[in-house]
Amino acid sequence: MSEETLSNLSREDRSFEPPAELAAHANVKEEAYERAAPDREAYWAEQAERLDWDRKWDRVLDWDNPPFAKWFVGGRLNAAYNCVDRHVEAGNGGKVALHWVGEPLDDTRTITYADLQDEVCKAANALTALGVESGDRVAIYLPMIPEAVVAMLACARIGAPHTVVFGGFSSDALASRLADCQAKVVITSDGGYRRGAASALKPAVDHARAKASEDGFDVEHVLVVRRTGQEVDWDDSVDVWWHDVVDSASAEHACEFFDAEHPLYVMYTSGTTGKPKGILHTTGGYLTGTSFTHWAVFDLKPDTDVYWCTADIGWVTGHSYIVYGPLANGATQVMYEGTPDAPEKGRWWQIIQDYGVTLFYTAPTAIRTFMKQGREIPDKFDLSSLRLLGSVGESINPEAYMWYREVIGGERAPIVDTWWQTETGAMMISPLPGVTAGKPGSAMRPLPGIEADVVDEVGESVPNGSGGYLVVKRPWPAMLRTIWGDDERFVDTYWSRFRKQGYYFAGDGAKKDDDGDIWLLGRVDDVMNVSGHRLSTTEIESALVSHPKVAEAAVVGAADDTTGQAVCAFVILRDSAGDGGADIVEELRRHVQKEIGAIAKPRQIMIVPELPKTRSGKIMRRLLKDIAEHREVGDVTTLADSSVMTLISEGLSSGKAED
Ligand code: ATP
Ligand code: MG
């Protein structure tokens, strides 16, 4: 390996100052960084005061037995009380918590905080009647309907950790999660609406339950919400209708307060790199981290903002930034059941226009899809209510950032590119919209209270202008506490690479630019070694996306006789580019060379109709690497659409993809 840890190829000179008006009234100002740095624990204790505690903590952080952290030791609180009841008690019961939008047109519900309180209390009573006690696990397998939020909060209210399984997952994926966390009850629905059709969920639960049972684990009850009205098989000894037991339950429920370290939920990672890990989050630190970051990074003004996060509650983003963060902050938000293109491509923009959404949080994969379709679609709508845009999930390519900024944000709304993980629970590196001059493609600086850095092989901080490993140097409140049932895997996975220094290693590569701002460069597992240069995927992908004919790109390293590894790129063209023209491959190779240098010029570029993505929209590069190296394609179980791999392979053999 060469002395460089990770090459720094691209330069970006654009930068956007915060809007003056936003900066003047920002929730968090520059001084927060200075105040937090000398005493992070004191800073987090101050943020924990945002919550209502039944009993205050005796000690902010117990790090006596690293890497097993305890935050707000001795404190007691209830997460659901913090997300719901306290807003009602403060006189905001009539305020809208959820503007829920179903996929079928005109299928909407408006749910106030008082409504939410009633529903959560009823569901808590119903779960208790089904035998669920504090500490029991409950699996939630639901579409994006209000009952999903109610179910999560009802579990939190009675101290039963939930594990939400994405509604698009198969019965096998559900079965393995049920068994892994030994869920006593599953909450599901008959089905949900996706792409204009009712799609069934209950049969997958029936299969999963049977499968778990064969493996010796029995689910006690399945609580079923009626959403689509489709036929379901019914087992009277297990299945109960939500409308039978929840609707008839009492709306009075005195909540119990739990230890700050009481388990709140187990969430399985999205599985981009391998088998998902059951990440455990606990109550006090997690709620502090999510509520603070949601308020600081989105500059939430709860009385006037309408917030919308497009994630599914099956992902951590849905947990932290649909349920716990926003509701703890008393926000009004939009929740949407369906896909962006149902019944028509402009559906999301229609919703923003209809509800006057001011804060919008989505993923680069969605933005690139809209870029591919062309700006004519969003241009038909009035998006002037938007005052801030967020991005999460992958690095946002500078060109996608510019498109988001211009087309969706009207060059007015700043963009917060938020880096975090299922494991970190809450945002870690992000601009603060009233402070930071954002650079397209950079997540910028660790948030106040967070100590993250880019280090080399031996754990030394790299100088500005260099790349390396992204680490977190000090514990933070929303950090994972362990991998469910597997402390050893927890220690090995996250704390062994820099054991000596005691750093958490996130798996991601990053660089610091000349100003010390942080740029995420993709997974270190995906780093390519080309003639001794360690190249990251992100910069080459972004160079490709900066070509006007390109909408999306994925880059992998394939074995090469002369250079060790060679860059192979898979590219989706914009609709407006047609087939790209006869010379498209050469044109793109030259473009990469011009943008970031000859060393990064792809050996091979394949024009493809789709890319393999996880259900949360992340590109699965390891599958593309299999193709590039002519291997049989590996585990595809976390793939959103397995036919994509067939499409790509067929395209390759029919000669549509060029060398
Ligand atoms: P698994 O760990 O099972 O492979 P996963 O890492 O894809 O799955 P998540 O926890 O959902 O599961 O994703 C976190 C990862 O997403 C980060 O480690 C990082 O690679 C990427 N990521 C998230 N936000 C950003 C961002 N703003 N910029 C760059 N990368 C990001
Ligand atoms: Mg991960």
- Residue 510 is classified by DSSP as E
Which of the ligands is closest to the CA of residue 394?
1
The number of folded domains in the chain is 3
The answer for residues whose C-beta is within 8 angstroms of residue 434's C-beta and 6 or more apart is: 18, 22, 23, 24, 25, 26, 27, 28, 29, 299
| Residue 572 maps to a domain | yes
Question: What is residue 597's three-state secondary structure?
Answer: coil
CA 269–ligand 2 middle distance (angstroms): 6
pLDDT for 657 equals: 40
Nearest CA to ligand 1 atom 19: 394
Mutational test site, ligand 1, from 268, 315, 444, 508, max ligand atoms within 8 Å of CB: 508
CA distances from 341 to 103, 190, 349 (A): 10, 23, 10
Average pLDDT of span 471-492: 97
CA 567–ligand 2 middle distance (angstroms): 23
Nearest CA to ligand 1 atom 3: 271
pLDDT for 422 equals: 97
| Residue 318 maps to a domain | yes
Do 332 and 394 share a structural domain?
Answer: yes
Confidence band, pLDDT 50/70/90 cuts, at residue 131: very high
Largest CA distance in the chain: 72
Average pLDDT of span 38-56: 98
pLDDT for 3 equals: 55
Read off the tokens for 84. Answer: 């719901």
Q: Is residue 25's pLDDT more than 60?
A: yes
Q: Is residue 567's pLDDT more than 90?
A: yes
Contact 444, 436 (CB under 8 A): yes
CA distances from 455 to 326, 411, 467, 473, 517 (A): 33, 35, 8, 10, 14
Rounded Cα distance, 406 and 3, in Å: 40
Read off the tokens for 95. Answer: 């305020």
The DSSP secondary structure of 98-116, one letter per residue, reads EEEE-SSTT-EEEEEHHHH
Do 518 and 541 share a structural domain?
Answer: no
Rounded Cα distance, 540 and 520, in Å: 13
pLDDT for 652 equals: 65
At which residue do the structure tokens 């809450």 appear?
A: 426
Contact 71, 53 (CB under 8 A): no
The DSSP secondary structure of 474-506, one letter per residue, reads S--TT---EETT-HHHHHHHHHSTTTTTT-EEE
Which of the ligands is closest to the CA of residue 536?
1
Sequence length of the chain is: 659
Do 606 and 479 share a structural domain?
Answer: no
What distance lies between CA 638 and its chain's CA centroid? 15
pLDDT for 658 equals: 38
Last residue of a domain, one of 522, 542, 577: 522
Rounded Cα distance, 319 and 470, in Å: 24
Rounded Cα distance, 574 and 305, in Å: 34
Percent of the chain with pLDDT over 90: 90
CA 505–ligand 2 middle distance (angstroms): 11
Average pLDDT of span 180-186: 95
Do 193 and 45 share a structural domain?
Answer: no
Average pLDDT, the chain: 95
Last residue of a domain, one of 499, 522, 545: 522
At which residue do the structure tokens 């992100």 appear?
A: 538
Q: What is the pTM of this model?
A: 0.96
Contact 557, 565 (CB under 8 A): yes
| Residue 27 maps to a domain | yes
Pocket of ligand 1 (CB under 6 A): 269-274, 276-277, 316, 392-395, 417-419, 421-422, 443, 506-508, 520, 523, 616, 618
Do 504 and 532 share a structural domain?
Answer: no
pLDDT for 2 equals: 39
10 Å Cβ neighbour count for 8?
21
Contact 553, 572 (CB under 8 A): yes
Q: Is residue 655's pLDDT more than 50?
A: no
Do 395 and 467 share a structural domain?
Answer: yes
Which atom of ligand 1 lies at the shortest distance from residue 520's CA? Answer: 29
What's 114's domain CATH number? 3.40.50.12780
Confidence band, pLDDT 50/70/90 cuts, at residue 644: confident
Do 315 and 206 share a structural domain?
Answer: no
Do 560 and 455 share a structural domain?
Answer: no
Do 204 and 101 share a structural domain?
Answer: yes
The DSSP secondary structure of 5-50, one letter per residue, reads SS---------BPPPHHHHHT-SS-THHHHHHTT-HHHHHHHHHTT
Q: What are 408-463's pLDDT values in tens digits? A: 999 999 999 999 999 999 999 999 999 999 999 999 999 999 999 999 999 999 99
Q: What are phi and psi of 241, to 5 degrees?
A: -80, 140
Do 204 and 158 share a structural domain?
Answer: yes
Select the more confidently predicted residue: 10 or 380.
380
What's 533's domain CATH number? 3.30.300.30
| Residue 300 maps to a domain | yes
Q: What are phi and psi of 355, to 5 degrees?
A: -100, 0
| Residue 101 maps to a domain | yes
Residue in 57, 76, 52 with CA at minimum distance from that of residue 259 = 76
Last residue of a domain, one of 223, 256, 289: 256
Which atom of ligand 1 lies at the shortest distance from residue 396's CA? Answer: 28
Dihedral, CA of residue 636, residue 640, residue 643 and residue 645, to nearest 10: -50
CA 472–ligand 2 middle distance (angstroms): 14
Domain range enclosing 176: 79-256
Question: What is residue 616's three-state secondary structure?
Answer: coil
| Residue 5 maps to a domain | no
| Residue 261 maps to a domain | no
Sign of the four-CA dihedral 368, 369, 373, 378: negative
Do 204 and 180 share a structural domain?
Answer: yes
Q: Is residue 659's pLDDT more than 80?
A: no
The DSSP secondary structure of 354-420, one letter per residue, reads HHT--EEEE-HHHHHHHHHH-THHHHTS--TT--EEEE-SSPPPHHHHHHIIIIITTTTS-EEE-B-
Nearest CA to ligand 1 atom 28: 395
Please identify every residue whose CB atom is under 5 Å from ligand 2, which is an ion: 269
pLDDT for 284 equals: 98
CA distances from 439 to 31, 518, 612 (A): 21, 10, 28
pLDDT for 653 equals: 59
| Residue 86 maps to a domain | yes
Q: What kind and span of H or E run contains 221?
A: strand 221-225
pLDDT for 654 equals: 52
pLDDT for 272 equals: 80
Which atom of ligand 1 lies at the shortest distance from residue 279's CA? Answer: 10
Q: What kind and span of H or E run contains 79?
A: helix 79-80
Do 583 and 504 share a structural domain?
Answer: no
